[in-house]
Structure 1
Amino acid sequence: MPLVYVTRRERFNAAHQMYNPKWSREKNEDVFGKCANKNWHGHNYELFVTVKGEPDPNTGYCVDLKKVSDVVKNEVIEQLDHRNINLDVPFMKGKLASTEILTIEIWKILAPLIKEIGAELHELKLYESENNFVTYRGE
C-alpha cells in the first residue's frame, strides 16, 4: 500500500516577546529589534500538521482528520490561542518564544498523540506571518 501525506491546518492568535533574560535591554533590542518590545507583540499563526500513513482499505483514509484536528485543538491550540506565549503557556515556560522553539515544542506534544490515533507525524509548518514560517520534521 502506498504512503500518503495528509495535512490539517489550524489557526491561533498569540502574543510574545523575543527577549533573552541573560542580556541587557539594549542587547535584546539590538538583536531582536521590534520583537523585543516590552509591551509584547502578536501574530495570527497558522499551524499545518502533516501526518503520514497507508490508506485503510475500508475507509480510504490514512487517518481520520477529525481526530487529528481534535488532538491539535485540545492539546496545542487551547494552550496557545489568545495567550501570551512567554507568560501563559506551560510548555514554553523558561524557553525563548521564537517560532522555531515553539514549533519544536509543539512537535514534542503532538508526535506521540498522532501515533495513538494510527498515523505518524511527518511535518509541522508554523506561519507567524504570510512571509515568515518554520518547517520542522522532528530532526
Structure 2
Amino acid sequence: MIFLTRKAEFSSSHFYRNPQWSDEQNTAVFGKCANPHGHGHNYTLEVTVAGEVDPVTGFVVDLKLLKDILEAEVVSVYDHRHLNYEVPEFADVIPTTENIAVAIWRRLEGKVPNSRLYRVRVYEMDDIFADYYGEQVADASATVIGQAEVVS
C-alpha cells in the first residue's frame, strides 16, 4: 500500500458565529473571528490517497487527474470566496478548519479512481491545521479518528 499526497492552495474568507447565540456570546467564544465581515486565510490543502502501484504506469493515481479533481471539487468552489455566504456546505455550519476538512472529504470521497481517500489535511496557517480521516476506525491501539484532529 502506497500513500500519495497532493497539495493545493486556496484563499477564502470566513467568520465564526453561532446564529443561536447573542453577539456578546459569539464575541466571548470566538473573539475577533466573530466579526460578520470576516477575515481571510491562504489555506493549504493536502489530500492523501492510498492504493497499490499500477505495474503499467507506476502510479497509485494519475497525478494530473488528482490535480484536476482537487481543482474542480475544491479550489474552484472555495478560492476567493466568502465561505459563510458563498459555499453551500457552510450555510449552517461554522467554517472552522475542522469543518472545512470534513467538507472537503465529503466533496472528494469516491471521486479518485483506483485509490481510497486516506486523509484530508487543511492548513489555516503554518501552525494550525486539521486532519480528517473519514469515518474510519484506527487500529486497536488508537481511538476513533472519524473526528477532526486539530494541531495548534
Task: Give the TM-score normalised by the residue count of structure 2.
Answer: 0.86
Matched residue, 1:43: 41
DSSP-derived class of the 2:59 partner? coil
CA distance in 2, matches of 1:135, 1:16: 19
Q: Within the alignment, does 1:136 sit opposite 2:135 as a pair?
A: no
Structure 2 counterpart of 1:126, from 122, 126, 143: 122
RMSD: 0.8
Aligned length: 135
Greater RCO (Cα-Cα under 8 Å, separation 6 or more): 1
DSSP-derived class of the 1:113 partner? coil
Deviation at 1:136, TM superposition (A): 0.6
Task: Give the TM-score normalised by the residue count of structure 1.
Answer: 0.94
DSSP-derived class of the 2:24 partner? helix
Superposed CA offset, 1:68-113 (max 9, x none): 1101110111110000000001222211111111111110110111
Q: Which amino acid aligns with 1:97?
A: P
DSSP-derived class of the 2:110 partner? helix
Where in structure 1 do 4 or more consecutive aligned residues deviate above 6 Å?
A: none
DSSP-derived class of the 2:109 partner? helix
Matches within 5 A, 1:18-37: 18-37=16-35
Superposed CA offset, 1:38-97 (max 9, x none): 321010000000001000111111111111110111011111000000000122221111
Matched residue, 2:4: 6
Matched residue, 2:78: 80
Segments of structure 2 that go 5 or more residues without pairing to the other structure are: 135-145, 147-152
Segments of structure 1 that go 5 or more residues without pairing to the other structure are: none
Percent identity, aligned pairs only, is 41
Query: Which one has a larger percent helix, Structure 1 or Structure 2?
Result: 1
